Amino acid sequence: MNAEIIAVGSELLLGQIENSNAAYLSKELTTLGINVYHHITVGDNPDRLQAAVESAAERADLLIFTGGLGPTKDDLTKETVAKVTGAPLIYDDETEQRILAYYAKRGQTMTVNNRKQALILEGADVFPNDHGMACGMSLKTDKTQWIMLPGPPKELQPMVEDYLMPYLRRELYTNEKIESKILRFFDIGESKIAEELDDLIENQTNPTIAPLASEGEIKIRLTVKGDDPAENGRLLEEMKTEVLSRIGKYFYGEGEKDLRELVNDRLRASNQTIASAESLTGGLFAETLTSLSGASDVFPGGVVCYSNAVKENVLSVPRKLLDEHGAVSGACAARLAENVRKLMDVDIGISFTGVAGPDPLEGHEPGVVFMAISQIDDTTVIPLNLAGSRRNISGRTVKYGCFHLLKILEKQREKDG
Amino acid sequence: MNAEIIAVGSELLLGQIENSNAAYLSKELTTLGINVYHHITVGDNPDRLQAAVESAAERADLLIFTGGLGPTKDDLTKETVAKVTGAPLIYDDETEQRILAYYAKRGQTMTVNNRKQALILEGADVFPNDHGMACGMSLKTDKTQWIMLPGPPKELQPMVEDYLMPYLRRELYTNEKIESKILRFFDIGESKIAEELDDLIENQTNPTIAPLASEGEIKIRLTVKGDDPAENGRLLEEMKTEVLSRIGKYFYGEGEKDLRELVNDRLRASNQTIASAESLTGGLFAETLTSLSGASDVFPGGVVCYSNAVKENVLSVPRKLLDEHGAVSGACAARLAENVRKLMDVDIGISFTGVAGPDPLEGHEPGVVFMAISQIDDTTVIPLNLAGSRRNISGRTVKYGCFHLLKILEKQREKDG
């Protein structure tokens, strides 16, 4: 099966946004053994769009469109596919109800042009949009499978994960089972991964092995195909053991949950609460934990102590300590973690202080970071030395915080259990 | 003149890297008034590459290739263009000298396959590569201009800036100037923009008008072309006035700066400081402001008061108020904003409380938000009713916070000035 990904939208051709969907979809399709031979981007012009669709349909079996499903008359994807395939556009009740509900929730009524988003191609299977209004769909004609997805990545990605991939798996493989395992690593660079796993990646057959880096975290997805579930499981386990024998010290977990979700889970499981004192990270740790629903059980709050006055007046760091050691110091980090633990009456206090840049601070270069984790009987200070932009340093500091919290909670669990 | 950007490389089709060059080049070409009608990505397969080149040459006057100029036998861009145009490949002395120098500098000798990188199309203008080995080039044939650039962005971007853009400017324009203006809006949906500006967008000529939505903010870019700078300025101003007469109430600023940057600027200009008390938003407001360098001048800190205990014990919200009105209330928001202003000894306190979801809280549905802004002589409570995911509600709440802060600071400036 060979596929072509067609992005629709003049904003892409003007360079106003990057087409990140093409790479994302290609990577997903590759895991199903589908070859992608072309990416195309075309604007909201009816004639050029139609010409692009017609020539793509001559080349590929599977056409995946991204974008052009919105409410304006510039959104032409469905209309063009309808024209080329001859499938009429009809209103889909379920989609219309979803759109009406979306508006009702905001106390608004649906505008006329938004009703256009409830149009689907007759005979198509519909993928609901759980993060926006335009539904996705799949239509089969004689020679070609037509798939249409919304353009915004935050709508497209969950739709691909939750609906399109299971759908394609069902379509493509009737007997063969596909199984995946995700291994998660932190504090290891991409080139280090390449170095350590090069031969495995080069010679991959079944399972396949796909590393995916994002902001300091690395996921490695192992995917196995085969009729026999037991054999599949054995092959996955074997490859996992091989990978961990090489880079096990950077491993922190398996499955869909990321660092912050695992921290949340472990805190909840051990019935502990945490509070944060954030200078360098300016609230990012708190925001990271509270972005999970149910965070209130483990995280009652924190203090963003950007200035020394707040460190002193709200978190009771003695002026003398600040004068002697500076705010960018292990001593300050330790005191912040201890005091926020007491102030918020929690089990664990965590603190971050350091230099986010671009300018040096107290004689330290950007990237100098001190982090502390305080429990009733022990406070650990962890110094870090990071490179990168302001946002980068802050983001990675929070991840180091989660990583070390996990290690501490893990040790505790082993001791207790 | 209409252009097509052709990325060459199987790694793009496997999703191993994103094609950021297409958006970058499009943006650059747009400033020259060149229309880009297609982006194409094709792999390192000779037949498919040749077919893609031939059909692109039928559509466009200007073809820009990125990638496929390397030393391996998979790098086929020059070879394919040579085949299609009939221009022979010859060794370019200057490029060969540069490559030899590159190796000499490293104490190595040039390998045979690297000599391939010194091949150029006969008659082409050469763009030197100051950050790598593969040179770029431009070849003119009867109907088409062929431009070839290296794939890695860190080689391509300086080559575009230093050589390609000046080259195209010389080729295209002797006199014409291009000028842009960006207008920024908040709290207006894409379909509302479409409704209000439809006729302007439909009939755009000079200036052009391009709306671009991202997470609740909308930018509109007006671009004018012409020989006379004064006339250009007049046309831009005229279009701006027309746009604002329709959607002026959503307008918050002009230029490259976004909401948080403008809040930061205005606070700094008026010499005021701000602190935040965040329940719903869990630290996102603090993180948003502190992600800017120099934030410490205007933002000494804040409290994340996720639990009622922290609202009561750290921010002194009376238990009675919480019992009577609940934490999700205008009364609580007002008290939080006032008290964090006093606690942190700042000019302005801002607070956010509400329900991020997915579950209701205190009988309120997700999306019910109360925000308050407190100054020494006045506290304003602003209720919001938002829809969307947890992260969405939190993100938009912070933007509403910035938007209302801007309005208040603006009014103050008018009163004072």
CB atoms A16 and B212 under 8 Å: yes
pLDDT (tens digit, 9 = 90+) per residue, B287-324? 999 998 888 899 999 999 999 999 999 999 999 999 99
Residue A295 Cα, gap to closest chain B Cα (Å): 9
pLDDT (tens digit, 9 = 90+) per residue, B171-214? 876 566 778 888 999 988 777 887 898 888 878 788 988 777 66
pLDDT (tens digit, 9 = 90+) per residue, B230-285? 999 999 999 999 999 999 989 999 988 889 999 999 999 999 999 999 999 999 99
The label of the residue with tokens 């909308």 reads: B218
Q: What pLDDT is attached to residue B385? A: 93
State whether the Cα torsion A325-A329-A330-A332 is positive or negative: positive
d(CA A136, CA A156): 9
Is the same domain home to A265 and A218?
A: no
Q: Which one of A2, A73, A291 makes the best mutation probe of the B interface by having the most chain B beta carbons within 10 Å? A: A291
Q: Using omega within 30 degrees of 0 as the cis cutoff, is the peptide bond preceding A358 cis?
A: yes
Q: What pLDDT is attached to residue B64? A: 98
Nearest chain B residue to A277 by CA distance is: B303
pLDDT (tens digit, 9 = 90+) per residue, A211-239? 776 666 888 888 888 888 899 999 999 99
Is the same domain home to B109 and B225?
A: no
B-contacting residues in A 310-339 (Cβ below 8 Å):
310, 313-314
Does residue A230 belong to the interface with chain B, where contact is any CB pair within 8 Å? no
pLDDT (tens digit, 9 = 90+) per residue, B381-412? 999 999 888 888 999 999 999 999 999 998 88
Is the same domain home to A361 and A382?
A: yes
d(CA B343, CA B341): 6
The mean-pLDDT minimum among A109-113, B113-117, B135-139 falls in A109-113
Does residue B24 belong to the interface with chain A, where contact is any CB pair within 8 Å? yes
d(CA B56, CA B51): 9
The two counts, helices (H) then strands (E), for chain A are 16, 17
CB atoms B387 and A20 under 8 Å: no
State whether the Cα torsion B235-B241-B246-B248 is positive or negative: positive
CATH of the domain at A56: 3.40.980.10
Residue A313 Cα, gap to closest chain B Cα (Å): 8
Q: What pLDDT is attached to residue A190? A: 66
CB atoms A48 and B37 under 8 Å: yes
State whether the Cα torsion A406-A407-A410-A415 is positive or negative: negative
Residue B187 Cα, gap to closest chain A Cα (Å): 13
Does residue A157 belong to the interface with chain B, where contact is any CB pair within 8 Å? no
Q: What pLDDT is attached to residue A198? A: 82
CATH of the domain at A293: 3.90.950.20
Residue B370 has pLDDT above 90, yes or no: yes
Q: Are A315 and A339 in contact (CB under 8 A)?
A: yes
Is the same domain home to A144 and A91?
A: yes
Is the same domain home to B144 and B244?
A: no
Structure tokens given for A292: 């999970």
CB proximity list for B51: less than 8 A, separation 6 or greater: none
CB atoms A36 and B14 under 8 Å: yes
Domain boundary among B143, B172, B201: B172
d(CA B253, CA A318): 43
Q: What is the DSSP letter of A258?
A: -
The label of the residue with tokens 């080559």 reads: B159
d(CA A351, CA A340): 8
Nearest chain A residue to B311 by CA distance is: A301
CATH of the domain at B203: 3.30.70.2860
Domain residues for the domain of A378 are 259-416
The CA-atom distances, in angstroms, between A274 and each of A163, A264, A316 are: 36, 10, 18
Is the same domain home to A158 and A181?
A: no
Q: Which of A12, A107, A309 sits opposite B385 (nearest CB)?
A: A107
CB atoms B28 and A16 under 8 Å: no
CB atoms within 10 A of CB B205: 7
The CA-atom distances, in angstroms, between B375 and each of A71, A201, B262, B299, B378 are: 42, 60, 19, 15, 5
Is the same domain home to A160 and A28?
A: yes
Domain boundary among B231, B254, B277: B254
d(CA A178, CA B179): 54
Is the same domain home to B236 and B109?
A: no
CB proximity list for A160: less than 8 A, separation 6 or greater: A24, A25, A28, A149
Q: Which of B7, B194, B310 sits opposite A72 (nearest CB)?
A: B194
| Nearest partner of B165 among B38, B41, B64, judged by Cα | B64
pLDDT (tens digit, 9 = 90+) per residue, B74-112? 889 999 999 999 999 999 998 888 888 877 776 777 777
Q: How many CB pairs under 8 A join A and B?
A: 245
CA atoms within 13 A on the CB side of A21: 30
CB proximity list for B228: less than 8 A, separation 6 or greater: none
Is the same domain home to A278 and A360?
A: yes
Q: Are A179 and A150 in contact (CB under 8 A)?
A: no
Q: Which of A15, A52, A295 sits opposite B24 (nearest CB)?
A: A15
CB proximity list for A73: less than 8 A, separation 6 or greater: A113
Q: Residues in chain A with pLDDT < 70?
A: 173-175, 190-191, 213-216
B-contacting residues in A 239-298 (Cβ below 8 Å):
276, 278, 281-287, 289-291, 293, 295-296
Helix (H) or strand (E) holding A351: strand A348-354
Q: What pLDDT is attached to residue B206? A: 87
The CA-atom distances, in angstroms, between B100 and each of A167, B12, B20, B108, B125 are: 54, 30, 30, 9, 20
Does residue B26 belong to the interface with chain A, where contact is any CB pair within 8 Å? yes
The CA-atom distances, in angstroms, between B182 and each of A55, A167, B204, B232 are: 37, 42, 16, 15
Q: What pLDDT is attached to residue B33? A: 81
Q: Domains in chain A: how many in total?
A: 3
The runs of H, that is alpha helices, within B345-387 are none
Q: Are A83 and A24 in contact (CB under 8 A)?
A: no
Is the same domain home to A221 and A92?
A: no
Q: Which of A22, A107, A302 sits opposite B304 (nearest CB)?
A: A302
Is the same domain home to B181 and B160?
A: no
Does residue A37 belong to the interface with chain B, where contact is any CB pair within 8 Å? yes
Q: Are A340 and A332 in contact (CB under 8 A)?
A: no
d(CA B189, CA B167): 40
Domain boundary among B254, B275, B292: B254
> Looking at beta carbons, which residues of chain B come within 8 Å of A18?
18-20, 22-23
| Nearest partner of B198 among A264, A74, A128, A296, judged by Cα | A74
Phi-psi region of B68 (alpha: psi -120 to 50; beta: other; left: phi over 0): left
CB atoms B391 and A23 under 8 Å: no
The label of the residue with tokens 């299977």 reads: A125
Q: What pLDDT is attached to residue A390? A: 86
| Nearest partner of A148 among A132, A124, A167, judged by Cα | A124
Is the same domain home to A227 and A92?
A: no
